[in-house]
Amino acid sequence: MLLKRCFTVFTNCNPHTGKVKELKEKLNSYQKLSVTASEFGDAEAFSAVQALYRETYMELMTISFCESLYSLLPHILCIWLLSFIFGPLVIGKYKIGILLWYPAIIIFYKLIHKKLFKVSVGKNETIQGCKG
C-alpha cells in the first residue's frame, strides 16, 4: 500500500505539468497573433510571431520529453529492482524477460482496476493529493 501511494504521488505530481500548460497557452496566443498579422498583411510581424512560435514549440518539446521521462522513471526503477528479485519467467521452452512481463502486468492491472472501480479523471479535474 505504501509503495502504491509513493508510486502514485511520484507519477501524478510532475513538476513540468505547469510549465507545459503555460507553454501551450503561449502557443495558442502566438497562433492567434499570427493569424491576425497575416490578415493585416504585415509580413514583418508575421515572421516575428512565427519565430517566437518556433522557439516556444521547441521549448515545449524539450519540457514534454522531460515530463515523459519523469513519468517513466518509477517504472524503470521498478523493473530494475524486480530484475534482482525475479528472473525470467519460464513457460515451456520459452523464457520471458522482465521487460515483457512487467508492462503486460501493469496494463492488465490498469484494465482490471478501471473496470472494477470505474476510475475516470476528466480533463479539467484534479487528482487528489497533488499540489500545484
pLDDT tens across 5-58, in order?
A: 656 655 566 777 788 889 999 999 999 999 998 898 888 988 999 999 999 999
pLDDT for res 4:
61
Supply angle C-alpha 122, 12, 96, rounded to 5.
105
List alpha helices for the chain, DSSP H: 2-12, 17-40, 43-85, 98-117
Predicted local distance difference test score (pLDDT) of residue 130: 46
Give buried/exposed letters for 76-89 (b at 16+ CB in 10 A, else e): eeeeeeeeeeeeee
pLDDT at 54: 94
Q: Give the per-residue pLDDT at 112.
A: 87
Angle at 127 between CA 125 and CA 132, to 5 degrees: 95
Each residue's pLDDT tens digit, 76-108 = 888 888 888 888 888 888 888 888 888 888 888
Is pLDDT of 128 > 70?
no
Q: What pLDDT score does 77 carry?
A: 86
Q: CB 110: neighbour CB atoms within 10 A?
A: 11
**Global pTM?**
0.58
